[in-house]
Amino acid sequence: AQKVTQAQTEISVVEKEDVTLDCVYETRDTTYYLFWYKQPPSGELVFLIRRNSFDEQNEISGRYSWNFQKSTSSFNFTITASQVVDSAVYFCALSSGYSSASKIIFGSGTRLSIRP
């Protein structure tokens, strides 16, 4: 069975603090893809990152960084020096199989609030 768990339902931090959003996944497939999406208050889904199961290298994009650890089945997302505009619901997601065009299983999301 495939499953994505985001244990943190809501997080609230003060602006400029660093914050890490946790994601734990389950799959029996050896080939899979992991994603993070941002859903701002306006409601659209904004793609942030896709990582395949063979690439455990951590990635940094500006204030965003991702830590992928197969040993713990985790794909955590850190925002450094958070800003009010980062306030949104963040979804971790999993797609198993040969192609990432397979269906995506979403976690329940973490609502992040950044206070000025």
Partner 1 sequence: EPEVTQTPSHQVTQMGQEVILRCVPISNHLYFYWYRQILGQKVEFLVSFYNNEISEKSEIFDDQFSVERPDGSNFTLKIRSTKLEDSAMYFCASSEAPEGTGELFFGEGSRLTVL
- In the bound state with partner 1, the residue whose beta carbon lies nearer, of 45 and 81, is 45
In DSSP terms, which residues pair with 70 in a beta bridge?
Answer: none
CA 78 to the chain's CA centroid: 9
Nearer to partner 1, 43 or 116 (CB): 43
Residues forming the site for partner 1 (CB under 8 A): 33, 37, 42-45, 47, 50, 91, 93, 98-109
Nearer Cβ to partner 1, position 71 or 101?
Answer: 101
- Bridge pairing between strands 110-115 and 10-14: parallel
User: 1 with 102: CB under 8 angstroms?
Assistant: no
Given phi > 0 = left and psi -120 to 50 = alpha, else beta, which region is 41? alpha
CB 109 to partner 1: min, Å: 6
Instruction: State the minimum distance, in angstroms, from the CB of residue 16 to partner 1.
Output: 28
What is the closest distance, in whole angstroms, from the C-beta atom of residue 50 to partner 1 in the complex? 6
Q: Is 79 helix (H, G, I), strand (E, B) or coil?
A: strand
Cβ distance to partner 1 smaller for residue 13 or 50: 50
